[in-house]
Amino acid sequence: NSFVTRTNTCGELRSAHVGQKVTLYGWVQYQRQGLFLVLRDFQGLTQVIIPQDEAHSHVKELLSNAPLESVVRVTGTVSPRPLGQQNPKMPTGDIEVKAETAEILNSCKKLPFEIKDFVKKSEALRMQYRYLDLRSPRLQSNLRLRSRLVMRMREYLCNLHGFVDVETPTLFKRTPGGAKEFLVPSREAGKFYSLPQSPQQFKQLLMIGGLDRYFQVARCYRDEGARPDRQPEFTQIDIEMSFVDQAGIQRLIEGLLQHSWPEERGSIMTPFPSMTYEEALAQYGTDKPDTRFGMKIVDISDVLRGSNVHFVQNALSYPHGSIRAICIPQGVRYLTNKHLESLKESAKSQFNQEIMEIICRPDGSLKSLLTKFLGEKEKSELVQALNIQEDDVVLLAAGEHKQVCSALGALRLLSANFLEAAGLALRDPTAFHFLWVVDFPLFLPKAENPTELESAHHPFTAPHPSDASLLYSDPTKVRSQHYDLVLNGNEVGGGSIRIHSAEQQRFVLEKVLKEDSEVLSHLIEALELGAPPHGGIALGLDRLISLIVDAPSIRDVIAFPKSFRGRDLMGNAPDYVTPEELEPYHIQVSWPLEEKEAKKN
């Protein structure tokens, strides 16, 4: 209550305050028949008794007629609630304030929706009136938790470990590779700035500049179009260190999260488990596994290798051919035929992968088109390999290793959703399973042209020391010093040890990625002028907070987010500008024909 004219907040009065005269400010949340109202502020609720005597008729009239969500000031005396009228659900439920004077500071007109968490309203309406949505207890709680977490992170990095908080430029130039960047016109004809997708180059240059340890709560920008749970502007905890290896970065982040973790969410155990990219793909079908539940992918190639089944032998004849399966516990009990068809259709449409199911009957026998062609020994080995129990359902896929694993990984998550919707508790929403994924490939084939390569992380990532020589002979086989931090199946951080040799950086850009190294001439020149070995990481703050508070979307932990299509529905941005405003930037808008006609009308 420092610096303000209230004596207390609406969430702090208790029995110990009885008899005190207080002044409260807040919003009218509820009013009943001119007898009492509930006043709300950022900290909580207080019941205010409206006076009924003639001497306070003005106060009664004022408070009885105040529309909901009006801002009022109330001065009165704290009293105990009458016996039997205490409210144990309210922290202030043992007391009430008997109003003596009051003032309407701002009357509220009819609201577009009620300020209550349980009242359903469309996300578009919430975003249009975001300043009203921010009054809800849930968003208030999320943003305050976010603030506390960031403050604790600053304390850990700057006060305890000597990091320097440095702000890096927002206006820069295009970076080769990675996500698409927003362009900002300049007054020089034909020249544009880019909004950085991360402060990657700047933090490396800070290491070359000798700062040793850098940190920033960084605003980042990516022009990724309409993505369901992405934002065109987002925040990351950006970190870089000199003279560090992968293990050092991992220990730092584990300590950082342990130090800043909200007490009300329990404690987290360190060190976090680690698995290689290849292990993650083979066991979970993804590079961001949700390890809160089992249903791992199992390789059953050896079990079926001796069978005479045509599709099995066909799959195993390929260089990377594989037969794998997942076992869905109690699938017979919780999954319908419609669910099974949906799983098969999903694998077919997303991965062009056929799926065969095997059902374990109550007597332990297996029902499937496949098992007709298997001997008793093979059936027994199959049951053992997958630990099949009564009423389990097995989904089996055969084909190229990566495609099979990716398809089964997606079905693992989809079937978990089906099981939970049917009432089987599988993933504990209060559990936080962190995991390091390491040893990623340094390069991947481009989706649009598989004969060309692109960086799996970014072009500044250093090759694994054991694979450094392969960079020049067979770059497709090179592992990287790239590491991701995964939480409950979501990537919440990613980083790498960087290339600190100008010669190696130039080779990667020009020979492997076929990029014009001139765009990065400033960085390559800096690497030639005494660059220390260095590495870093960035944590996605929005994603991390949304997982901590179990929010359905990252938009619920950002004060003023953009919509699904990247629009600000409150301020109606982006918006049109006049030709006169564009003139200094040497830009003319070429309108699509239908928009030309619309503007005319």
Which string of b and e fits 310-342 if b means at least 16 CB within 10 Å? eebeebbeeeebbbbbbbbbebeebbeeebbeb
pLDDT greater than 70 at residue 594? no
Is the bond preceding 271 in cis, omega lying within 30 degrees of 0? Answer: yes
- pLDDT tens across 415-433, in order? 999 999 999 999 998 999 9
Predicted local distance difference test score (pLDDT) of residue 121: 87
Sorting pLDDT into bands at 50, 70 and 90, what band is 592? confident
Say what the pLDDT of residue 309 is: 86
Asked whether residue 441 falls in the same domain as residue 413, the answer is no
Same domain, 413 and 443: no
What is the rounded average pLDDT of the residues 9-28?
97
Task: Return mean pLDDT, the chain.
Answer: 94
Q: How far apart are CA 292 and CA 273, in angstroms?
A: 13
Q: Give the pair of three-digit tokens for residue 445.
A: 């084939």
We report the CATH number of the domain holding residue 21 as 2.40.50.140
The residue among 186, 190, 192, 194 whose CA lies nearest residue 223 is 194
Q: Is 435 helix (H, G, I), strand (E, B) or coil?
A: strand
Single residue among 395, 422, 449 that ends a domain in this structure: 422
Are the beta carbons of 75 and 25 closer than 8 angstroms? no
158-164, long-range: CB < 8 A, 24+ apart = 158/215, 160/259, 161/213, 161/252, 162/212, 162/213, 163/213, 163/214, 163/215, 163/239, 164/211, 164/212, 164/213, 164/214, 164/215
Q: How many CB atoms lie within 10 A of CB 275?
A: 20
Please report, as a single letter, which amino acid is at residue 573.
A
Do 187 and 98 reside in the same domain of the chain? no
H-state helical runs in 463-532: 470-473, 502-507, 521-527
Determine the Cα angle at 324 with ends 320 and 326, to 5°. Answer: 150
Q: Which amino acid is at 280?
A: A
Answer whether residue 176 shows pLDDT above 80: no
Same domain for 472 and 511, yes or no, is yes
Output DSSP code: residue 190.
Answer: T
**Residues 486 and 415 placed together within one structural domain of the fold:** no
Q: How many domains does the chain have?
A: 3
Neighbouring residues of 432: CB distance < 8 A, sequence distance ≥ 6: 265, 266, 268, 487, 488, 547, 548
Q: Which of 377, 395, 422 delimits the end of a domain? A: 422
Per-residue model confidence (pLDDT) at position 599 = 60
Q: How many Å is the Cα radius of gyration of the chain?
A: 30
Residue given tokens 């051919």 in the structure block: 321
Q: Both tokens of residue 465?
A: 């020391």
Q: Does 179 lie in the same domain as 92?
A: no
- Between the alpha carbon of residue 550 and those of residues 42, 103, 137, the distances in Å are 21, 39, 15
Both 298 and 350 in one domain: the answer is yes
Q: What is the 3-state secondary structure of 5-69?
A: CCCCCCCCCCHHHCCCEEEEEEEEEEEECCCEEEEEECCEEEEEECCCCHHHHHHHHHHHCCCCC
Which among 354, 359, 366 is positioned nearest to 336, based on CA atoms?
A: 359
Confidence at residue 597, expressed as pLDDT on a 0 to 100 scale: 63
Q: Which residue segment(s) compose the domain that 154 sits in?
A: 140-275+433-556
Distance CA 561, CA 555 (A): 6
My answer on whether 469 and 405 are in the same domain is no
Look at residue 598 and tell me whether its pLDDT is greater than 90.
no
Residue 1 lies in a domain: no
In angstroms, rounded to a whole number, what is the distance separating the alpha carbons of residues 416 and 428?
12
Q: How many CB atoms lie within 10 A of CB 251?
A: 13
Residues 457-516 have pLDDT tens digits of 999 999 999 999 999 999 999 999 999 999 999 999 999 999 999 999 999 999 999 999
Q: Choose between 354 and 595: higher pLDDT.
A: 354
Query: What's the rounded Cα separation, in Å, for the pair 568 and 237?
Result: 24
Q: Quote the CA–CA distance of 75 and 487 in Å, as a whole number.
A: 48
The amino acid present at 24, given as its one-letter code, is L
How far apart (Å, rounded) are the C-alpha atoms in residues 136 and 318?
Answer: 57
Partner residues linked to 275 by β-bridges: 437
Torsions phi, psi for 183 (to 5 deg): -105, 145
Model confidence band, residue 564 (pLDDT cutoffs 50, 70, 90): confident
Of 414, 287, 297, the residue nearest 348 (C-alpha): 414
Least confident window among 108-117, 136-145, 263-272, 506-515: 108-117
DSSP symbols for 241-281: EES--HHHHHHHHHHHHHHHS-GGG----SSPPEEEHHHHH
pLDDT mean over 296-322? 91
pLDDT digits (tens, 9 = 90+) for 43-99: 999 999 999 999 999 999 999 999 999 999 999 999 999 999 999 999 999 999 999
Interval 271-295: pLDDT, tens: 999 999 999 999 999 999 999 999 9
Same domain, 324 and 269: no
pLDDT per residue as tens digits for the range 320-354 = 999 999 999 999 999 999 999 999 999 999 999 99
pLDDT of residue 113: 92
Q: Is the pLDDT of residue 228 over 80?
A: no
With pLDDT > 70 as the criterion, what percentage of the chain qualifies?
98
Confidence of residue 19 (pLDDT cuts 50, 70, 90): very high
Q: Do the domain assignments include residue 595?
A: no
287 near 280, Cβ under 8 Å?
yes
Residue 592 lies in a domain: no
Q: Identify whether residues 145 and 34 lie together within a single domain.
A: no
User: pLDDT grade, residue 601 (50/70/90)?
Assistant: low
What CATH number corresponds to the domain at position 312?
3.30.1360.30
- Considering the domain boundaries, does residue 288 fall inside one? no
- The answer as to whether 464 is a domain residue is yes
- pLDDT for 209-218, tens place per residue? 999 999 999 9
Q: Are residues 244 and 144 in the same domain?
A: yes
The pLDDT of residue 600 is 60
Residues 320 and 234 in one domain: no
